[in-house]
């Protein structure tokens, strides 16, 4: 089993290459660029330069798309804007040589769950069509979400993978907040056929309705996750705690000490 560990967050454009050097020195082999509050890398040449540095240092890049995405809005214009945001990530991601664009697909928006699923599936297929026409390279990776009123259960994400051939992101912190346990058996059953898994993990505070906020990662919980992860798969674990770098290094240490 090989696991690549890395933080959510690359920092600003000016700091990108020194941060990548630092990650590399710490033994981290992945980094998810957070476009969560906007696609802040705008120039093609900046993206290409960051992509080259990451490649040279053996760091696999992915992107987290903006939070403002709802492919199941009742407002057509909001759906259109959501699609444009994902496609913008795909474009910049192509220059960065990022493997995937992770996103939260949307809300139920008072629409019944089956209809929500159909709406989101349709929009993903359409984004993929444009992605292919424009020769963008990152795969779309809808993520399991942490709130019960937000689209993104394990079943919904795995069905999207089957129906649209998209990629996926399993966020174990979100799964814990949504289901009150890590649902290892269910996840294994639904995703075992795919040979590479993109994982998010951190500590999480949650209540009845699910996720409240991401918190520092506990060593014990990290060990549970690593122990569960299937052998013989390519696995990337992106940490999303308030201290993403420190917690990624902690994960790497647990892995090297006990599982390698």
The residues binding Zn ion (CB under 5 A) are 171, 200
C-beta separation of 144 from 157 below 8 A: yes
Chain residue whose CB lies nearest Zn ion: 200
Kindly state the smallest distance separating residue 9's Cβ from Zn ion, in Å: 12
Nearer to Zn ion, 64 or 95 (CB): 64
**Residue 97 burial (CB < 10 Å; 0-12/13-18/19+)?**
middle
Kindly state the smallest distance separating residue 69's Cβ from Zn ion, in Å: 13
Nearer to Zn ion, 164 or 202 (CB): 202
Q: What burial letters (b/e) apply to 113-122, b meaning 16+ CB within 10 Å?
A: eeebbebbbe
Decide the pairing of beta strands 210-215 and 203-207.
antiparallel
Nearer to Zn ion, 104 or 131 (CB): 104
Kindly state the smallest distance separating residue 39's Cβ from Zn ion, in Å: 18
DSSP assigned state of 181:
S
Nearer to Zn ion, 91 or 240 (CB): 240
Nearer to Zn ion, 4 or 200 (CB): 200
> Dihedral through CA 8, CA 199, CA 173, CA 87, nearest 10?
60
Kindly state the smallest distance separating residue 133's Cβ from Zn ion, in Å: 29
Question: Which residues on adjacent β-strands are paired with residue 4?
Answer: 236
Q: What burial letters (b/e) apply to 158-173, b meaning 16+ CB within 10 Å?
A: bebbeebebbbbbbbb
Kindly state the smallest distance separating residue 48's Cβ from Zn ion, in Å: 27
């Amino acid at each position: 089993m090989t696991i690549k560990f890395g933080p959510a967050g690359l920092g600003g454009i000016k700091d990108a290459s020194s941060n990548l050097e630092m990650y590399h020195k710490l033994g981290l082999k992945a980094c998810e660029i957070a476009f969560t509050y906007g696609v802040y890398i705008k120039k093609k040449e900046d993206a290409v330069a960051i992509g080259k540095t990451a490649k040279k240092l053996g760091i696999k890049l992915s992107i987290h798309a903006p939070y403002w995405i709802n492919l199941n809005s009742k407002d057509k214009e909001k759906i259109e804007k959501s699609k444009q945001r994902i496609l913008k990530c795909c474009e910049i991601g192509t220059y960065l040589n990022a493997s995937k664009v992770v996103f939260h697909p949307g809300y139920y928006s008072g629409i019944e769950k089956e209809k929500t699923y159909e709406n989101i599936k349709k929009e993903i297929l359409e984004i993929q069509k444009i992605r292919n026409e424009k020769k963008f390279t990152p795969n779309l990776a809808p993520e399991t979400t942490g709130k019960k009123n937000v689209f993104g259960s394990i079943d919904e994400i795995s069905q999207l993978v089957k129906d649209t051939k998209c990629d996926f992101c399993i966020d174990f912190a979100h799964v814990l907040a949504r289901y009150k346990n890590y649902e290892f058996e269910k996840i294994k059953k639904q995703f075992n056929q795919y040979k590479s898994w993109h994982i998010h993990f951190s500590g999480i505070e949650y209540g009845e309705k699910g996720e409240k906020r991401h918190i520092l990662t506990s060593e014990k919980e990290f060990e549970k996750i690593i122990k569960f992860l299937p052998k013989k798969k390519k696995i990337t674990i992106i940490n999303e705690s308030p201290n993403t770098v420190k917690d990624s290094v902690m994960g790497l240490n647990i892995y090297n000490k006990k599982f390698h």
